[in-house]
Amino acid sequence: MTIGTKIQQTVASAESVAANLKSFALDTNDQQAKQMYNQLAQNVEAIIQQLKNREQQVMAEEPQYKQQ
């Protein structure tokens, strides 16, 4: 398994976590909890973006991803 593949799997998992957090925010009436879930979802989305940026770098570096 390549680093690129591992990053792709991690991105997919992180996107699932972000979706769950947003769902929790919608499901609760507790405003503090809602705010916490939304903030955590934003944090995870920032991490996802960083992972996607790294994935692009890896794809440019790893020979199996290069166009021939």
Per residue in 11-35, pLDDT (tens digit) is 999 999 999 999 999 999 999 999 9
Q: What share of residues in the chain are helix, strand, coil (percent, to 5)?
A: 85, 0, 15
Q: Exposed, middle or buried by CB within 10 Å (0-12, 13-18, 19+), for 36?
A: middle
Q: Which residues contact 7 (CB under 8 A, 6 or more apart)?
A: 51, 54, 55, 58
Instruction: Please state the rounded mean pLDDT for residues 60-68.
Output: 67
For the record, the structure tokens of 46 come out as 């920032």
State the Cα–Cα distance between residues 36 and 34, nearest whole angstrom: 5
- Is the confidence at residue 68, as pLDDT, over 50? no
pTM, rounded to two decimals:
0.85
